[in-house]
Amino acid sequence: MSNAASRVVVSLIGLPIVLEVVHLGGWWVFGVAGVAAAIALHEYCLLARPLAPLAPAGHIGAMLALVGAEVGGIGWMIGGVLTTFLLAFALKAISEARQAATIAISGTVMGALWIGGGLAFLILLRDLPAHGELAALSVLLAVWAGDTLAYVGGRLVGRHKMAPNTSPGKTWEGFVFGTAATIFVAFVTFYKAGFLTIGQSIVVGVVVAIAAPAGDLFESLLKRDMDVKDTGTLLGGHGGMLDRIDALLFAAPAVYFTILAFTG
């Protein structure tokens, strides 16, 4: 199966399942986020092996962030992810790895905050008191639409490299295609549903259009730093779990705070 065909198959199977889980809400979202976080953190630890991340501390901190988001909101989520500092310090104190404590602990905390914290914001979006389901579904659809159209646009007319030293496959033409798709989806979902005004819906679309590619480029930068092409092969043409959710890890927090700014 070709890379493009594999991407299509994974999307056709995975997207409806994820959207249904978000519709159900509650601990269903937590469960899927927990599985995704566990797999993505495992991939991250393999990717960042030269940094000697303290995997147990990262996994526990990420899971506590998700639990905190579900049961107590953003305050408990922050408290959960911050436990990674203490756990990483304690493990490093008894670890025999030669990597410097500063590097090992920093790498561990970054993984827990990036992956666990990023997915926790999807839970926080779903748990918003008004239009939570709409907000979470809209972010997922906007990220998916932007990623898909950016890929298609880049393949069809892409000529100018966006970040040749970080992610050679991304082009400015693809970025324009993806941005247009993202803003359109955000407008349709947020404004047409009566949640936000026209201007606010467009702003949310712009936020996703910037944050999602930034999340993708951030992961690409880490992979380039570690001389790795993909974080895994779990999802075929999409690569690993982390390759699939990297854009969401930046987009979900950005949209959450944008909506709070608009709705108070």
Per-residue pLDDT of the chain (264 residues; tens, 9 = 90+): 455 555 666 667 777 888 899 989 999 999 999 999 999 999 999 998 888 899 999 999 999 999 999 999 999 999 999 999 999 999 998 887 777 889 999 999 999 999 999 999 999 999 998 889 999 999 999 999 999 898 888 888 878 888 877 787 888 888 999 999 999 999 999 887 778 899 999 999 999 999 999 999 999 899 888 877 767 666 665 678 998 899 999 999 999 999 999 987
What tokens does 209 get? 């259009």
80 with 148, same domain: the answer is: no
Phi, psi of 193 (to 5 degrees): -85, -5
Q: Do 163 and 69 reside in the same domain of the chain? A: no
How far apart, in Å, are the Cα atoms of 61 and each of 93, 236, 240? 17, 28, 21
112 and 201 in a common domain: no
| Residues 112 and 154 placed together within one structural domain of the fold | no
- Say yes or no: 19 and 32 in one domain: no
Give the Cα separation of 162 and 249 in Å (integer): 20
75, 109, 126 - which closes a domain? 126
In a shared domain, residues 56 and 152 = no
Q: Which domain holds residue 115?
A: 27-126
Choosing from 126, 152, 170, the residue where a domain stops is 126
Q: How many domains does one find in the chain?
A: 2
Residues 94, 42, single domain; the answer is: yes
3-state helix, strand, coil in the chain (%, to 5): 80, 5, 15
Q: Does 263 lie in the same domain as 170?
A: yes
Last residue of a domain, one of 126, 149, 164: 126
What tokens appear for 174 in the block? 């693809």
Question: Are residues 155 and 242 located together in one domain of the fold?
Answer: yes
Is the same domain home to 96 and 59?
yes
Note the pTM of the prediction, 2 decimals. Answer: 0.90
Q: Is 60 found in the same domain as 7? A: no
Same domain, 20 and 32: no
Listed as own residue / partner, the contacts of 79-85 with beta carbons closer than 8 Å and 24 or more positions apart are 80/116, 80/120, 81/112, 81/113, 81/116, 81/117, 81/120, 84/57, 84/58, 84/60, 84/108, 84/109, 84/112, 84/113, 85/109
